[in-house]
Amino acid sequence: MKQIHLALAIHNHQPVGNFDFVFAEAYTKAYLPMLALLERHPAIKLALHYTGPLRDWIAAQQPDFLKRVRALAARGQIELMTGGYYEPILAAIPDADKRGQILKLTRAVKKDFGYDARGLWLAERVWEPHLAKPIADAGVEYTLVDDTHFKYVGLSDDDLFGYYVTEEQGTPLKIFGTSKHLRYAIPWTPVEEVIGWLRAQATEDGARVAVMGDDGEKFGLWPQTYEHCWGSPTSNFQSPTSNLQFPISNAWMENFFQALEQNAEWLHTITLAEYQKKFPALGRIYLPTTSYDEMTEWALPAQLAGDLARLKHQLQDEKREDILRFIKGAFWRNFLIKYPEVNAMHKKMLYVSEKVNSLEGIRGLEKAQKGKKAREGGEGAPAASSLPSTPSDALSHLWASQCNCPYWHGVFGGIYLPHIRHADYAHLIEAEMLADQIARGTRAWVNWELRDYDKDSRAELLVSGSAMNLYFDLARGGAITEWDWRAKKINLVNTLARRAEGYHRDLDDAATRGAVQLPGEANRLDSIHSTVVRAKEAGLEKLLTYDWHRRVGLIDHFLAPETTLEQFARAEYRELGDFVDQEYKAKVKSEKQKAKSGKPALVVALSRDGHVWQGDVFAPLRVEKQIVLRAGETHLPITYILTNSHTQTLALRFGAEFCFALLAGHSDDAYYRAGGLAREQAYLDSRGEIAAKQIAMVNEWLGVEIILKMKRATRLWRAPIETISLSEAGFERVYQGSCVLPMWDVRLAPGAARQIEMEIELKSLPDKE
């Protein structure tokens, strides 16, 4: 009789900083039903992977769940996989952090489930050849990538019913390939078709294994999958752990497991760990840098991503697999080019990792963890009484900041989700603050350095202090691209510019045809890779507009008098100056006299000799901006000096743009505060014009108020930054931040100068009850 093995690996993950209700919904709709299904079918074996953020939530909210998983492991039904604890892209983090994250989750698996993990779930299957060594050096025997990786070196589907061995510097690692066919078939196609496909792959020697590794959330949490996978909540199976009911007759997963049992004579479920011990490798392999097929498409520039998607759909319709096997896009690191905001966060992570990993005691901490593991066989976490806790805390926050979710974007929200970006930055700021406290103590301080921070060969100005960090992009307008309020653990300019995405054409095309599906309309069951266009609200195609520069702080604009707020908000206006994204020079000096508090201060002077259009003349103009940072203080005096370097009088409309990211665009506890602005018109996603001496932006939930103060009443524009992005539930509008633009009409005779003063104060609000 022909036989075959089936190895399923279910990856369960929630991002650092995700909402508690999302964790709870995923637990109820996906993780708990899967556990109950395994309990009902003890003969079915598979691998489970729970990431650290999810494990932490389950341990705090549903501790009995861990005990039940442990029982399945004890009876040999499941294996538990390790990985980076906070689900980082391993290729993108320093080697010390790779090792530390893997060991942290391996110890947690041992502590929670009594299981020695030997397999590693590779986040987003992002593989680079050098990873074999650090993964294996962390005690891992095998990992799992996509079949795409193997096909790029000439293998076919028929070559992937087993595993291969690669090596780096002589250190071996076993590698399985998950089948894209099975990923797309389970749980979308009829059970009998899946079983039929497996039967067709069986052989007389029975040595083959078909592998399917994919997200656990697709079994209930993804749109329309809950009833499909688990059945109607009014059906006839009563869960032993909750008041939910799961049907037997019409639930895909129940039917699938029953079919596996009914065909057990020739179809054998097995864990990956068991298979790699029982069977030899199919051969050696050296895989290229890549990820799963869809990721290579998403990582491309927008125009090419859209072109590639359409080309692949065309070739699939024509059944041209002979050509498709040679079609590929970019690789994961291209997200660092595609989204400057991703690169900024990544380089911040590397900067903080350098600080934290250089702390005295960090290396001793790892040795102590190893010693404890050897003595007790447990997770190996350092005992508070025997080891300094602060270096450990800094390391934990650093690792949490490496959670991959906001570092890219595909069919899920990724970088477009402000609360996920906010969480990673919060951990980065906390890790850096702890590292600085160890190195410097708790006194107030401020310093600066010129450093090629974003790795583009041009230096940025980094001003750091015990109260705030301000990073200035000298090559691009001298703008503030990071503004960390340390006490609140917030990067105030953690915004996201509006830019074209390849899938925007799909929205435009569907809207033109009247084919956009809205909530409440009859929707068929589709995978997240379906070509059906869904949107969470009507008219999103009308909101597609794109920025030509990053939306951050201290951006210098010169506008035509006829420019309207609507034109500026949509980035559909003419910029008259060459200051927004061109180079500024920097000088930094210590303030001659310390503030009354006696704390040190720095004066940052930025300047550019640029030009501004006056009719047909590109007239020379000098812009200087001076910022004073005082140690331990959270207010920022700013002085502009505009000097006419031309031989004729200049008539200018000058504006200084500040964009702040305060998470909530339309919430009663997040609003503008200014004289003459009614509360119902003051949401952070509102737009309008007022004349005022000051305007404040408030988020009571965050406990912050940002107050922009001018010397006299000034014309002020405000407008939200809202992106249109694609998620698993369809196209959606996402609030990324609010722009405030104070403006001044300036007339300068030849050689004359105008000084403009303002101040930004950061005020901490009482904790909201």
The residues carrying an active-site annotation are 124, 215
Long-range (24+ apart) CB contacts under 8 A made by 481-484 are 481/344, 481/550, 481/552, 481/553, 482/344, 482/348, 483/553, 484/425, 484/429, 484/432
The string of DSSP codes covering 257-284 is HHHHHHTTTTEEE--HHHHHHHS--S-B
**Rounded distance between C-alpha atoms, residue 438 and residue 432, angstroms:** 10
Nearest to 697 by CA among 740, 743, 639: 740
Burial (CB count <10 Å: 0-12, 13-18, 19+), residue 651: exposed
H-run or E-run covering 178: strand 171-178
Q: How far is 345 from 406, CA to CA, in rounded Å?
A: 9
Order of strands across the sheet with 119-121?
A: 119-121, 142-146, 171-178, 163-168
Q: Please give the biggest Cα pair distance in the chain.
A: 95
CB 756 within 8 A of CB 638: no
CA 766 from chain centre, in angstroms, equals 30
Q: How many CA atoms lie within 13 A of 541 on its CB side?
A: 17
Backbone angles phi, psi at 294, to 5 degrees: -65, -35
Exposed, middle or buried by CB within 10 Å (0-12, 13-18, 19+), for 637? middle
Taking the C-alpha atoms of residue 658 and residue 239, their distance in angstroms, rounded to an integer, is 53
- Per DSSP, the residues of 673-724 read E-TT--GGG-BTT--EEEEEEEEEEEETTTTEEEEEEEEEEEEEEEEEEEEE
* DSSP state for residue 501 in the 8-state scheme: -
The span from the CA of 263 to the CA of 427, in Å, is 49
Structure tokens at 382: 């350092």
Crossing angle, helix 95-113 and helix 63-74, to 10 degrees? 80
